Amino acid sequence: MLIKDFEFTLKDGRTAIIRSPKDEDIQGVLDYLYISSGETDFILRYPEECTKYTAEGEKQLFDRINTADNETMLVCIVGGKVAGNCQITWSNGIKTRHRAHVAIALLKEFWNLGIGTRLFQELIRIAEENENILQMELDFVEGNSRARALYEKMGFKITGVKPDAIRLKDGILLNEYSMVRKM
């Protein structure tokens, strides 16, 4: 699904654009995937695992998502740079089409500027427009207090915990929490 582009003002006064991904974003998204993976343990990949992402693969991904009827990606652009993205996906299956899954990540230089809040407002609007969707779901890793604060602010509540779901390179095990937002 495509969304209509819109602009908003960051907490530091800069203007940001939120829109569907375009071919011109491919290199920016590849850079963002690689860099963001090394900036936090709360993203589920390490930078060296990003070699599987290619320009051709991203183009196919953008084309698929932009034409799908059950998923949308939003990219946030600040000063011509891809600051991050988010995604909402739901199943077409009769038994599970009431559940939409969402995910988000931004480059560290763009944290705490209100982008996550604005992206989530848009994800919620998209979910609300689909009468089949009764709940939005996501997961976050133990210790990710910024993400948790954002999700609670947007109406998500913790519904469960998967113990030791994440194992870092140094062997540290972290729980993963599930959250649900009823529509």
> Which residue of the chain is nearest ligand COA when measured via CB?
116
List the 173-182 sheet strands across, edge first: 6-9, 15-19, 71-78, 81-90, 99-106, 135-141, 173-182, 157-167
Q: How far is the CB of 92 from ligand COA (least distance, A)?
A: 25
Contact footprint for ligand COA (CB under 6 A): 40, 42-43, 84, 104-106, 111-117, 140, 144-147, 149-150, 153
The two three-digit tokens of residue 37, written as one number: 């993976």
Residue 28 CA from chain centroid, whole number: 16
Residue closer to ligand COA, measured from CB, 93 or 160: 160
13's torsion region: left (phi>0), alpha (psi -120 to 50) or beta?
left
Closest approach, Cβ 65 to ligand COA, in A, equals 19
Which residues have a Cβ under 8 Å from the Cβ of 59 and sit 6 or more positions away? 23, 26
Task: Output 62 or 120, the one with its CB closest to ligand COA.
Answer: 120
- 109 vs 128 by CB, closer to ligand COA: 109
On the 0-12 / 13-18 / 19+ scale of CB atoms within 10 A, 140 is buried
Nearer to ligand COA, 8 or 97 (CB): 8
DSSP calls for 145-156: HHHHHHHHHTT-
Minimum CB separation from ligand COA for residue 150, in Å? 5
Identify which of residues 40 and 135 has a Cβ nearer to ligand COA in the complex. 40
Closest contact distance (angstroms) between CB of 28 and ligand COA is: 15
Least distance CB 94 / ligand COA (angstroms): 28
